Structure 1
Amino acid sequence: MKIFVVAGELSGDILGADLLRRLKQHYPEAEFLGLGGEKMQAAGLKSLYPLETLSVMGLVEVLKHLPKLLKVRKHLYQAALDWRADLMIGIDAPDFNLGLEKKLRRQGIKTVHYVSPSVWAWRQGRIKGIKKSCDLMLTLLPFEAAFYQQHQMPVCFVGHPTADHFPLQPDKNAARAALQITNSAPLISLLPGSRAGEVARLAPLFLQVAQRLHRRHPSWQFVLPAASPQRHQELEAHLAQWPVEGLRLLQGQADLALQAADACLLASGTVALEAMFCKTPMVVSYKVAPLTWWLGKKLLKTPWVSLPNLLAQKTLVPERLQDQAQLELLVEDIETLILNPEVALTQTQAFYALHQQLQCQASETAVQAIKPLLPSVSSTE
């Protein structure tokens, strides 16, 4: 059995690795080719390009990389045909993967898209193209599945794999011990994103917030986990310009940093969901190119962008986006979470309920949904 898999960024690599391991349990002879990172490669994928190839965020930013992206997609399309793939699974990266899925589906290859694009939030007309691109949509969130059902699109809500990895009751003391944090003073985690563009836009602001908080509260502690070795180098350069006394720059260990923290300041994205699973009170912030922001505001159909708020369908966590991503506002938001325990408690209580909703053994559920699309090969389970 030959399964072609394409993931576009770090979160997709994590999801893909879980799925590939589970597929391998059911189909030990399965082979995987496509594009993914270290985790997917460790799970058996032969990757034709580095994971970073597709890690481009924003409407304007994508245009600059479009010729290269089109060349990569053309090569992947031909590789899947030459390899005689039985199935293609596109993981996130919808603007890239859906086009590839559509072309391969026309050639008779069954296609699955894992992680719904935010079609329910903006550009809802894309549903027509999605229905032409894939045989099955796998969604991480329940309200996404309801949207596809309304449009007669084959869909399966699988839950979120990350929800399965985190315990409902995190052990903050163990996380602090693992990070060798013995001081009981408040700890704030800073997570400015996993992409180069996110770090470039958000890291200086986040470090200035930490500087201001340290001046006001000298005992407070800070950790800054880097998503990759490349991000670590970039963050080191930012720290040289905006040093924060006592701040620790970590290589990876974002899970521990979130579990150990009393509050976190983070980029909008999957990391907000991880913070929710860690039951860590948070403030979400994000900045993009001005034109990207203007276009996005015109098209957005929801009042929120962060996953905790979208799941709760209310403003559960503060969102400081674009012009609202200001030093004073972020400092005030973090101080509120640390100095007013009832505010933090409101967040964490909601996080427990949302975590339970998403614990569905996602990778196994996904495999069971995919099985009808696979060739008639006996499964070991």
Structure 2
Amino acid sequence: MTKTVENQAILQTSPTVNGLIPQQPPVFGLVVGEHSGDTLGAGLMSSLMSVYPNAKFIGIGGPKMQALGFDSLFDMEELSVMGIFEVLGRLKRLFHVKDCLATEFINNRPDVFIGIDAPDFNLRLERQLKKAGIKTVHYVSPSVWAWREKRIFTIEAATDMVLSLLPFEKDFYDKYEVPCTFVGHPLADDIPFYSDKGEARQALGLPLDKKILALMPGSRGGELSRLTEPFLLSAVQLLAQDPQLHFVVPMISDKRTDQFSQLKEKIAPNLAVTIITNKTQQVMAASDCLLMASGTVTLEAALVKRPMVICYKFNAFTYHMFKGLVKLEWFSLPNLLTQKALVPELLQGKVSVDNIVPLVKERLYQDQTSLEDEYMKIHLALKQNASQEAAKAVMDLMSK
């Protein structure tokens, strides 16, 4: 389908007045809290702009959204905190940001407000705006199906519509009769069914004839600080067993690159690694195996179709506070989507060199064809033209 035809299809379902598109360009409020949200926001903006070329977008956005003309009132990093202990240290600042945004949106009312992920922040803001009569959308369901199920009533009070990325989430919302639209995942639309390893290596200047392990300790400062040491020490041991092994480290920003480099200098100064900034998907495609932090990036890895070992470590206080509330057998998206142990997971105290090394070796040196077949099933299920479906749902809400 060509871009023109796509735009016409969206136009046919867009809100109208007497059969005409409103002449006044709409204003969309958006808030994202991390890089995955920035990607979702940019895709949604592009789809909305194909209908409303002069629309205004304001709130908190990342570099991809800003490149499309987004007016960001605060830096996205303001919201990039995870865990009770970490949030407590920045609570005063977070409330200040929320209050400033609420004042801005209530005084200069957007046609609709869309909070993208960051539920602890966005749901509070959405509830305040909804009470003021502003239509609200929450894009990316919180993991309410995993723990603290009664949060569904908080979500209902805060939003007019939830846009879910995963098919099983809509079933959960339907059970409680909370409006939810499954839109699929933009990553499944953007990532090709086949990612060429040799082509990616040539583009990045990586060796064509060596096994490559990607070390991916996270995009947030806290998780990176907790996972870098076990990842680097595992790499040192793996290199001792295979001196030809090559390590590459994709970093999401210059800030994280600097943080990782400083940690590496303390932990494994003699370990040779190639650090590449802002090309995570290409690095994954170039790799034979990924040692990575949990998060949206694990879904991206599944769509690129590479073997992975997934790790996560919370702040100790946060973990002990909430470990009894989580009722899921798995925490990573590939396993949740397939409802089986498709990829290995290591959580908290199990994140150790002794556990990591054998799991990585198995995936580096053994055939992974059956895994790729499972990844393809995930890809097909999530490929739904998500950004366009999300834009359509937003415009449908605007018309009510």
TM-score above 0.5: yes
Is 1:110 equivalent to 2:116 in the alignment?
no
Identity %: 43
Amino acid at match of 2:135: K
Aligned counterpart, 2:58? 33
Q: Deviations over 1:299-357 (max 9, x none)?
A: 1121111000000101111001101001111011100111222xx33322211110111
Contact 1:5 1:33 in 2 (8 A): yes
The alignment status of 1:316 with 2:342, answered yes or no, reads: yes
**CA deviation vs aligned residue, 1:38-65 (integer Å, no higher than 9, x gap):** 1111122100000100000112211111
* Partner amino acid, structure 1, of 2:286: A
Alignment partner, residue 379 of structure 1 = none
For 1:315, the aligned partner's letter is A
**RMSD over aligned Cα atoms:** 1.1
Instruction: Give, in whole Å, the separation in 2 of the partners of 1:179 and 1:15.
Output: 25
Question: Which whole-Å CA distance do the structure 1 matches of 2:177 and 2:325 have between them?
Answer: 23
Question: Which residue among 320, 328, 342 is the counterpart of 1:294?
Answer: 320
2:185 to 160, 178, 181: 160
Residue 22 of structure 1 corresponds to: 47
Shift of 1:182: 3.2
Q: How far did residue 291 of structure 1 move? A: 2.0
2:332 corresponds, among 301, 306, 316, to: 306
Cα offsets for 1:67-103 (capped at 9, x unmatched): 1111110100001112221110000000100110011
Matched, 1:271 2:320: no
Equivalent of 1:74 in 94, 99, 113: 99
Is it true that 1:171 corresponds to 2:171 in the alignment?
A: no
Picking from 311, 333, 338, the partner of 2:364 is: 338
> How many positions carry a matched residue from both structures?
374
Q: Are the counterparts in 1 of residues 213 and 248 from structure 2 also a CA contact under 8 Å?
A: yes
Match of 2:224 in 1: 199
2:353 corresponds in structure 1 to: 327
AA aligned opposite 1:57: M
Return the alpha-carbon distance in structure 2 between the equivalents of residues 135 and 288 of structure 1.
32
1:42 to 60, 63, 67: 67
Residues 1:255 and 2:281 are matched in the alignment: yes
CA–CA separation in structure 2 for the residues paired with 1:32 and 1:286: 34
- Work out whether residues 283 and 333 of structure 1, in 8 Å CA contact, stay in contact via their aligned partners in 2: yes
Match for residue 378 of structure 2?
354
The alpha-carbon deviation at position 169 of structure 1 amounts to 1.2
1:230 aligns with 2:255: yes
Q: Give the unaligned 5+ runs of structure 2.
A: 1-25
In the other structure, the counterpart of 2:394 is 370
Quote the residue 2:166 is aligned against. 141
- Cα contact 2:146–2:327 (8 A) shared by 1: yes
> Once the 2 structures are TM-superposed, how far is the Cα of residue 244 of structure 1 from its aligned partner?
5.1
The alignment's TM-score, normalised by the length of structure 1, stands at 0.96
Structure 1: segments with no counterpart, 5+ residues: 377-381
